Chain A
Amino acid sequence: MKIAGEFEIDAPRAEVWEKVRDPQVMVQCIPGCEGIEQIDATTYRSQVSVKVGPIKATFNLKVEVVSEEAPHTVLSRTSGEEGTRASVVSSENVLRLAETPEGGTLVSYEADVSMTGRLGKFGLGIFRKKADQLAGVFVENFRAKLGVSA
């Protein structure tokens, strides 16, 4: 399942980059994120809870930064599982920051997500909608963190 989107932030790219690469900022912006722990220079561990209708799931995720080119591109890989349950999720992610003519930043992201196990049964179509919704919440949180309005 491919998830992609973009949004504009009324803040210079260097500042956006700094915030995007700060786990303590991200933990407060990612909806359902219960903590991010840095394991080494390029590896993070995180717990994220998601609720879709009657289904609640908490994932233990490992995020590896595969490569990064400051201040505009991060390639990362996420893998994780849902506690002792059988759902396994993995994704390949690309994040890009581009400068806009107005001096702001255009943030674009793409993720290729695969999910198996009990949540896979529920259907990926609905998860894509949920992902779009969560992305919207993230953007609001992120804008608030940078002190800029939409």
Chain B
Amino acid sequence: MTELLFPTTVEEAVALLAAHEDARPIAGGATLVAMRNAGLVESTHLVSLDRIAGLAGIVRLEDGRIRIGAMTKHAETASCEMLSGSLEVLRKAAGMIANRVVRNMGTMGGSVANADPAADYLPALACCDAVLTIAGPGGTREVSILDYVEDWYETALGEGEIITAFTLPAPYAAASSYRKIARVSGDFATASCAMALEADGQGVRVAIGACGPGPIRDPEAEAALCGHLGDPEAVATFAKALADQADPVDDVRGSAEYRLQLIPRLISGVLNDISKETV
């Protein structure tokens, strides 16, 4: 028997998670409810984050940065006009998650907390240099998305901690894109790629998803590619650098070998998207 608790503040939620040994936070429930139904997870207490004021919604901060509340549903992110230009990649990724039912249910905080390597947000957030705000028994702290995933399904989130928000740098006018290869529309990615053009139009930030425990980014390789986006050889070298850091699984969606083959294809694909938008 599971007890469902409804705190109304972050502090109360954190206190409830600390008070019950086997408590677990529940956001939209898109994944957690399915996992419970499959008997994969169980807990004596579920702490719902649904009634905490201020956890949902997207706002532009005074300095231009964008702040997305952890309880913001995928559907809202997918249609948010503030996520334009360099941040459009995140909007596109949100719109490719599963199907409309899930997008009206699932939240960014829930998805990122679950840290499924094949989910869409992780590479998109990595390419945007997002920063997570995490609240817990020790107070509030910020963690870069690039330091967030520590291993397969293991994250920087400690015992009793919850994600409260994502902060993105101010968007600028430049193309960005997200592509995923999936067995059918709405499936988790077999492999995915998020890319945003730098403000100077010479370089890109690229993150690969579903090819390791967390999104793969390589700032050094990005620097080497800067100014050579139109050079197929430089792009191939860049793709190889990312593929060399990949550690994909063999699973029903594809073999590890197949996933490695997808990386250069995805990179060419998103580069193509970006050059079309830039012209």
Which residues does A use to contact B, with CB under 8 Å? 52-55, 85-86, 118-119, 121-126, 128-130, 133
Contacts and interface: CB of A to CB of B under 8 A. Distances in A.
Interface in B26-71: 32, 35, 38-41
Contacts of B41: 54-55
B191 to A, nearest CB: 13
B251 interface: yes
Given A121-B38, A126-B153, A53 B249 contact: no
The 8 tightest CB contacts between A and B, nearest first, are A53-B153, A125-B251, A125-B249, A118-B39, A54-B41, A129-B152, A123-B251, A125-B250
Contacts of A55: 35, 40-41
A122 to B, nearest CB: 6
User: Mostly helix, strand, loop or mixed at chain B's interface?
Assistant: loop
A118 B114 CA distance: 18
Contacts of A125: 249-252
Q: How many interface residues does chain B have, given as a range?
A: 10 to 19
B154 interface: yes
Contact of A54 (B35, B213, B247, B250): B35
B233 interface: no
B47 to A, nearest CB: 14
Nearest to A86: B39
Contacts of B251: 123-126
A122 B114 CA distance: 14
Contacts, number: 47
B40 A129 contact: no
Contacts of A129: 152, 213, 247, 249
Interface string B80-98: 0000000000000000000
Contacts of A53: 114-115, 152-154
B119 to A, nearest CB: 12
Contacts of B154: 53
A121 B40 contact: yes
Interface of B: 24, 32, 35, 38-41, 114-115, 151-154, 213, 247, 249-252
Contacts of B153: 52-54, 126
Nearest to B252: A123
A84 to B, nearest CB: 11
A6 B40 CA distance: 31
B249 A118 contact: no
Nearest to B36: A54
A126 B249 contact: yes
A128 B39 contact: no
Given A119-B40, A126-B152, A128-B249, 19 more contacts: A52-B152, A54-B24, A54-B32, A54-B35, A54-B41, A54-B114, A55-B40, A85-B39, A118-B39, A121-B40, A123-B251, A123-B252, A125-B250, A125-B251, A125-B252, A126-B153, A129-B213, A129-B249, A133-B152
A119 B32 CA distance: 15
Contacts of B247: 129
Contacts of A133: 151-152
B244 to A, nearest CB: 18
A52 B153 CA distance: 7
Contacts of B39: 85-86, 118
B250 A118 contact: no
